[in-house]
Amino acid sequence: MYLSSVQRFKEIIKILAFYGFGHIVDSKFNEDKAPENLRKAFEELGPTFIKIGQILSTRPDILSEPYIKELSKLQDSVPEDNYNDINKIFFEEFNISIEDAFLDFDKKPLASASISQVYSAKLHNNEEVIVKIQRPEIKEKMNMDLAILKKIFTLGKIKTFDTLIDPKDAIDELINATNLELDFTNEKENIKKFKYFNKNLKCIYIPNTIDKYCSSKIITMEKIHGFKITDTKSLDELKYDKKDVAHKLAISILKQIFEDGFFHGDPHPGNIFIREGKICYIDFGIMGTLTSDLKNYLNEAMFAVAFKDVDKLISVLLSIGIKKGYINKNNLFEDINYLFDIYLSTPLKNIKMSSMLQEVFQCANNNNISLPKELTMLIRSLIIIEGILEKIDPNIQILDIAIPYVKNNNKINLFKNIDLDELILNSYKTAEDLSKIPTKTIQLLNSILNGRSKIQLNVNNLDRSINELNRMINRIVFALIISSMIIGSSFILNSNIGPKFYDISIIGILGYLIAAFMGFWLLISIMKSGKL
């Protein structure tokens, strides 16, 4: 039975504190080991935190690289749920028992993950399927843990680990990501969308969904018989051309990024199979989406890399990024140019596309340009794909294929997005403006020769500067008057002239008093201005 929220609250604080994330930091914990300690804490906190950690490992926009790397090691090691509990969920979703819905259903799960279990089954038409069923009350448990975690951060009960954004905002992002992953209808829609984009690629296969047994908690799809794409032994035994397989996989991922704007967010070897000569993708819970503008800018960026156009690449970075502060374009140019010199002086086959993009994005970040979070998932996917390609064919590099692919793709789509009416209208306006240039030039020259030309100079905050200067001059004059009065009064007292009081010149004393009053007034005026 799951703990009450109060008990769970205490347990989470206790375990996080034990691993060095308490309100009072234990000196026995080395700061360098914080990422490892966070992973251990998540493992001890159980399935919900393991899933939270796995989601965080896909979000470099939330956590820094050391934490991402460490949380990527989190593995599901969760005991199986009771079959009767699973059957109960199935009945609640479809008003039919598992026994009646399927001709055969293996009660032993193929896989047991933190939020779901995967079973092998057979429909009444003998079609083999896999059924992914959410664990009982997992959504409620995860929401409770996330709510507790948010409360802990709000109360400042634990030491904040290295988040790149405000911890409470990070928890909100995490809640959104978790809710998306816990709704299996999103995965079903991802499958259909991915299938649509790849319908004309004969070398790619995506399993069909069995819609009548799909809901927010359950997804049923065609079972894929095959072997992992990195199983080089099977590739050799079945006489596959490994170079061809690697090339097709590279083309597939490039199409997803530069044409579809919809790419697999977790393309590890366990999610890509080979079946009957085709590359089969499975598990569409995590997908990356690029807006039309972002996709076009990525194409332009690759075009800029292909032609070593530093200015174009900087223009793209400024277009897609968010300004965090002052941007020194000269520094940005030098940084990007330096990268070009390093990378493009080497053969393309020796360059990792993910590494190059990472360094370009790091240059942007170092120059106060924050890039969209979708690009961090893109880099993560590219890193995984490059690892797969290296295992299949060590001589292939995705960048070596990407540049000619993008060049060709841009040639094909050069006029695709042009509005003909807008083009004609702009051409007419340009021609009209050009025809006026000779006349306008002659008018300008005549005005200059006749002395009729005026130049308007607009200096920002000029009035304010003049007022400041006036105040400064007034204070100097005032100070000179005070000085004169002090000197004059001193002469009068020394000469002892004029009416006297106790044999002291009244005029001299009065001069001192007036000078003191004026000096005090000047001092107050300067202090009030804040420019003492």
Helix/strand/coil (H, E, C) string of 21-62?
HECCCCCCCCHHHHHHHHHHHHHHHCHHHHHHHHHHCCCCCC
* 38 domain-assigned: yes
Please state the φ and ψ torsions of residue 482, each to the nearest 5 degrees: -60, -45
**Of 356, 354, 334, 333, which Cα lies nearest the Cα of 345?**
356
Q: Kindly tell me the sign of the dihedral angle through the C-alpha atoms of 466, 469, 473, 474.
A: positive
* 453 domain-assigned: no
Half-sphere exposure of 382 (CA within 13 A, CB side): 22
Give the pLDDT of residue 303: 85
Number of domains in the chain: 4
Size of the chain, expressed as the number of residues it contains: 532
Give the pLDDT of residue 113: 82
Give the pLDDT of residue 66: 83
Residue 383 contacts residue 354 (beta carbons within 8 Å): yes
Last residue of a domain, one of 442, 477, 508: 442
Residue 349 contacts residue 228 (beta carbons within 8 Å): no
Cα 400 from chain centroid (whole Å): 26
Give the pLDDT of residue 74: 79
Q: Are residues 243 and 327 in the same domain?
A: yes
Among 70-84, 99-113, 442-456, 487-501, name the most confident range: 99-113
Residue 368 contacts residue 317 (beta carbons within 8 Å): no
How confident is the model over 377-385, as a mean pLDDT? 87
Q: Domain containing 263: what range? A: 228-442
Give the pLDDT of residue 147: 86
* 91 domain-assigned: yes
Contacts of residue 277, defined as CB under 8 A and 6 or more positions apart, other chains included, come to 203, 240
* CA–CA dist 398, 348 (Å, integer): 9
The percent of residues in the chain predicted with pLDDT above 90, rounded, is 30
* 451 domain-assigned: no
* 457 domain-assigned: no
How confident is the model over 107-128, as a mean pLDDT? 92
How confident is the model over 416-440, as a mean pLDDT? 60
Give the pLDDT of residue 426: 59
The percent of residues in the chain predicted with pLDDT above 70, rounded, is 82
pLDDT-based confidence at 162, cuts 50/70/90?
low
DSSP code for 217: S
Give the pLDDT of residue 270: 87
Please indicate whether residue 357 or residue 287 has the higher confidence score (pLDDT). Answer: 287
How confident is the model over 490-504, as a mean pLDDT? 74
Give the pLDDT of residue 165: 58
* Residue 57, CA distances (Å) to 36, 266, 355, 394, 461 in order: 13, 11, 18, 27, 50
Please state the φ and ψ torsions of residue 132, each to the nearest 5 degrees: -100, 120
Q: Each residue of 501-532: pLDDT tens digit?
A: 767 777 777 877 887 888 778 777 777 765 55
Q: Kindly tell me the sign of the dihedral angle through the C-alpha atoms of 477, 480, 482, 488.
A: negative
Q: Are residues 216 and 242 in the same domain?
A: no
Last residue of a domain, one of 121, 154, 181: 181
Please indicate whether residue 361 or residue 346 has the higher confidence score (pLDDT). Answer: 361
Kindly report the CATH number assigned to the domain that includes residue 96: 3.30.200
Last residue of a domain, one of 173, 195, 223: 223
* 383 domain-assigned: yes
Question: Which region among 33-37, 357-361, 424-428, 487-491 has the lowest average model confidence (pLDDT)?
Answer: 424-428
* CA–CA dist 17, 12 (Å, integer): 8
Long-range contacts of 296-302 (CB under 8 A, 24+ apart): 298/257, 298/258, 299/258, 299/406, 299/409, 299/410, 301/360, 302/258, 302/402, 302/403, 302/406
Q: Are residues 309 and 363 in the same domain?
A: yes
Give the pLDDT of residue 414: 46
* 450 domain-assigned: no
pLDDT at residue 412 tops 60: no
Q: Are residues 267 and 329 in the same domain?
A: yes
Give the pLDDT of residue 342: 80
pLDDT-based confidence at 87, cuts 50/70/90?
very high
Give the pLDDT of residue 226: 92
Q: Are residues 496 and 427 in the same domain?
A: no
Q: Are residues 325 and 339 in the same domain?
A: yes
Radius of gyration of the chain (CA): 36
H/E stretch holding 500 reads: strand 500-501
Q: Are residues 339 and 476 in the same domain?
A: no
Q: Each residue of 234-274: pLDDT tens digit?
A: 999 999 999 999 999 999 999 999 999 999 988 988 899 99
* Residue 138, CA distances (Å) to 2, 10, 79, 116, 530 in order: 10, 20, 14, 8, 60
pLDDT-based confidence at 203, cuts 50/70/90?
very high
Give the pLDDT of residue 263: 95
* 452 domain-assigned: no
* CA–CA dist 465, 531 (Å, integer): 14
Q: Are residues 425 and 486 in the same domain?
A: no
* CA–CA dist 259, 194 (Å, integer): 12
Question: Which region among 158-162, 297-301, 318-322, 474-478 has the lowest average model confidence (pLDDT)?
Answer: 158-162
Q: Each residue of 13-51: pLDDT tens digit?
A: 888 888 877 654 444 455 667 888 888 888 888 888 888
pLDDT at residue 93 tops 80: yes
Q: Are residues 471 and 369 in the same domain?
A: no
pLDDT at residue 174 tops 60: yes
Question: Which region among 72-76, 78-82, 125-129, 421-425 has the lowest average model confidence (pLDDT)?
Answer: 421-425
pLDDT at residue 471 tops 80: no
Show the CA angle centred on residue 420, arms to residues 419 and 421, nearest 5°. 95
Cα 107 from chain centroid (whole Å): 41
* Residue 117, CA distances (Å) to 16, 81, 88, 219, 427 in order: 28, 8, 14, 11, 61
**Pairing state between β 278-281 and 204-205:** parallel
* Residue 11, CA distances (Å) to 118, 156, 211, 364 in order: 30, 16, 41, 41
Query: Average per-residue pLDDT in the chain?
Result: 82
Give the pLDDT of residue 202: 92
Q: Are residues 206 and 290 in the same domain?
A: no
pLDDT at residue 129 tops 90: yes
Q: Are residues 339 and 410 in the same domain?
A: yes
Alpha helices in 74-208 (DSSP H): 83-94, 98-101, 138-155, 167-182, 184-197
Tokens of 301: 């960026």
Among 45-54, 106-115, 491-500, name the most confident range: 106-115
pLDDT at residue 364 tops 50: yes
**Pairing state between β 111-112 and 116-122:** antiparallel
Cα 443 from chain centroid (whole Å): 53
Residue 381 contacts residue 288 (beta carbons within 8 Å): yes
Q: Are residues 422 and 400 in the same domain?
A: yes
SS3 helix, strand, coil % of the chain, rounded to 5?
60, 10, 30
Q: Kindly tell me the sign of the dihedral angle through the C-alpha atoms of 197, 202, 204, 210.
A: positive
